[in-house]
A and B are shown apart, each in its own frame.
Chain A
Amino acid sequence: MALLEVNNLGISFGGLRAVNEFHLKIEKGCLYGLIGPNGAGKTTVFNLLTGVYKPNEGVILLDGENIVGKKTIDINKAGIARTFQNIRLFKDLSVLDNVKAGLHNHYKYSTLEGIFRLPKYFKVEKAMDERAMELLSVFDLDKEADTLAANLPYGKQRKLEITRALATEPKLMLLDEPAAGMNPNETRELMETIRFVRDEFHMTILLIEHDMKLVSGICEELTVLNFGEVLAQGDTSDVLNNPEVIKAYLGE
């Protein structure tokens, strides 16, 4: 059974049909790309998958369970984590605290235990620190653990966002234009990071990207979206050679 299965998904904003009859099937462990021209509805699909928007129709099955209509936090608990096109970090928290915020639902103690510093507070905080540092060192961010997130260089902010998403222990990660604003060097490094996350954490990853080098370099399967509809779907090389896709991107 596929990890994520989407059927007949659609949403309208007023008179605008943003996404129509969208369908998608992602197997576990796959690196999947969602591409398309500007305004094709890619981020809208992400917002539908994460419960930011409620679809007008359609089903989204995560591990066989329908998650349509659930709230964003419940969808995160069900196993979908995401990053954002325009980076959304907790700017005034340290790098370490950003990751610990991601661990929020996996390491628990009550507010009162926190205020009165009961033994459980120290125990859980210590475990949290260890887990967060472990994740940070995977991404080579451990030296910056005490830095404010806002003070990180751009490329590291992107990495921290991925780390934070990973901290929520998802089954599926959605990356919204992870390479936006990066130079070729940083992009190459990012490609390695994404591949590493997939292999190391056995993660399934769905990403939106404009950078064709990145897409053709790491994605195994692709869906092309145009005017809210699926234009082509399948293996990366097949899709990228599809005349319809070339037409949508380059014009006639």
Chain B
Amino acid sequence: MKKMSKTTRSNLITYLMVIVIFAVVQIMVSTGHVSSLLQGLLVPLCAYVILAVSLNLTVGILGELSLGHAGFMCVGAFTSAFFSKCAVEAIPAAGVRYFLALLIGAAAAGICGILIGIPVLRLKGDYLAIVTLAFGEIIKNIVNILFIGRDDKGFHFSTKDSMSLGLEEGGKVIVNGPQGITGTPKDSTFVVGVILILVTLFVVLNLMHSRSGRAIMAIRDNRIAAESVGINITKYKLMAFSISAALAGVAGVIYAHNLATLTAQPKNFGYNMSIMILVFVVLGGIGNMRGSIIAAIILTLLPELLRGLSDYRMLIYAVVLIVMMLFNWSPKAIEWREKYSARFRRKNGKSAKEAA
């Protein structure tokens, strides 16, 4: 029973942390302490936080290395942007449209997760990482050669160019290959982003502390033993992987509905991005959701905050990365932290007793 309350408290702290950060940022924005450049970064930041948390589900809870997370984000971004652009006249209410876009983006990415997961989750470790890396690149490249247009007759597809769509007069090109999707309604806001972060946390944390989460973590810790107590390995691996993919799709939806023009470039949907997300996860602590959030925030804001230092910017960024990594993972630092937190706890316990 005590255990229950401990995890519940830890979860509440995580939710609270997000809400407090949100409140602080909102106050700073309204008092004019945040540059417009940084304000523009707030919505992508929400997407990155969700990506970090969802990848942590694969890496920390399932224990498999995935390097294709940006690919799932890409699927979510393009399917939802495609939907929103098509439905902009049919569903004028932005809230309803955005909600549907979220469902579609998450479902599309989740289905991709299942399709990729069925063959790929048989692989382990490095092999899985390489296949997912390839998946991410393939998705990005497919999007870049995809042309979709719509006229009175319906949808037209092509992989050549927009001319070969053969649209009638009045027809519109929706997905224009390397030029991507232009004119997606900008429905994503910081508030919506934060709500979706909370929803993501809710799903991931509750999953972790349920029967299914226990099964997933049992598989991570010892596959053979998990099988011997009757846990269905394939089912739970696939479940964790596809939920992780669907949440990455949600991040994609947020990202897509914040841009005037959505294009698939190496910068936003390539392996650079996948590795960036992995850095958030590793830096924040594998399996530690709160750490992922903090790492994602710091590492997204840092390059912008250091902009004044121009040339030294990336140098400092790299140094901060190394220092954070040392602080989080070196045995000496862990020892020091544990000692410190134990002393802190003892002190707290004492004062609580005195108060009683």
What residues of chain A have their CB less than 8 Å away from a CB belonging to chain B? Answer: 50, 52, 72-73, 76-77, 81-82, 84, 88-94, 96-97, 100-102, 104-105, 107-109, 111, 114-117, 121, 124-125, 128-129, 145-146, 164-165, 167-168
Tell me the smallest distance from the CB of A171 to a CB of chain B, in Å: 13
| Closest B residue by C-beta to A94 | B3
Write out the residue numbers on chain B whose beta carbons fall within 8 Å of the beta carbon of A115.
202-203, 206-207, 210
| A50-B228, A92-B287, A115-B206 known, 19 other contacts, Cβ within 8 Å | A81-B228, A84-B225, A88-B225, A88-B228, A90-B217, A90-B221, A92-B220, A93-B217, A93-B221, A97-B214, A100-B211, A107-B211, A108-B211, A111-B239, A114-B210, A114-B211, A115-B207, A146-B2, A165-B228
| CB-based contact B206/A116 at 8 Å | yes
With contacts A89-B221, A129-B1, A145-B3 taken as known, whether A101 is within 8 angstroms of B210 at the C-beta atoms is no
B interface residue count range (under 10 / 10 to 19 / 20 to 34 / 35 or more): 20 to 34
Q: A73-B231, A108-B211 are in contact. Are A89 and B225 (CB under 8 A)?
A: yes
Give Cα distance in the complex from A104 to B217, angstroms: 13
Contact assessment for B229 and A168 in the assembled complex, using a CB-CB cutoff below 8 Å: yes
Residue of chain B at shortest CB distance from A71: B227
A104-B230 CB under 8 A given contacts A111-B210, A111-B239, A114-B210 = yes
List residues of chain A with CB within 8 A of the CB of B231: 73, 101, 104
8 A-B pairs closest in CB distance:
A114-B210, A76-B230, A88-B225, A90-B221, A101-B218, A111-B212, A72-B227, A105-B230
Contacting residues, chain A, for B206 (C-beta < 8 A)? 114-117
The answer to whether A73 touches B230 (Cβ under 8 A) is: yes
Q: How many A-B residue pairs have CB under 8 A?
A: 102
The minimal Cβ–Cβ distance linking B224 to chain A, given in whole angstroms, is 6
Q: B213 at the A/B interface (Cβ < 8 Å)? A: yes
On whether the beta carbons of B226 and A90 are closer than 8 Å, the reply is: yes
Which residue on chain B has the smallest CB distance to residue A91? B221
Known: A89-B221, A91-B221. A96 touches B229 (CB 8 A): no
15 pairs, A vs B, C-beta closer than 8 Å: A73-B232, A76-B229, A77-B230, A81-B228, A88-B225, A90-B217, A90-B221, A92-B217, A92-B221, A104-B215, A104-B231, A111-B210, A111-B211, A116-B206, A128-B211
Q: Once bound together, how far apart are the Cα atoms of A196 and B207, in whole Å?
A: 37
Bound form: Cα–Cα A153–B296 in Å:
38
| A97 CB to nearest B CB, Å | 6
- Encode contact with A along B175-202: 1 for CB under 8 Å, 0 otherwise: 0000000000000000000000000001
* Most A C-beta atoms less than 10 A away, residue of B206, B217, B221, B224: B221
Give chain A residues whose Cβ lies under 8 Å from the Cβ of B233. Answer: 73
List B269-290 residues whose CB lies under 8 Å from chain A.
287
Kindly identify which residue among A82, A94, A129 contacts B228, using a CB–CB cutoff of 8 Å.
Answer: A82
Q: Are A81 and B210 in contact (CB under 8 A)?
A: no
Q: Which of chain B's residues 90-104 have a Cβ closer than 8 Å to chain A?
A: none
The CA-CA distance from A89 to B226 in the complex, in Å, is: 9
Q: Using Cβ atoms and an 8 Å threshold, which residues of chain A touch B226?
A: 90, 101
State the CA gap A104–B231 with chains docked (Å).
7
Does the CB pair B211–A104 fall under 8 Å?
Answer: yes
Give the one of A72, A82, A91, A108 with max B CB within 10 A.
A72
Cα distance A82–B228 in the bound complex, in angstroms? 7
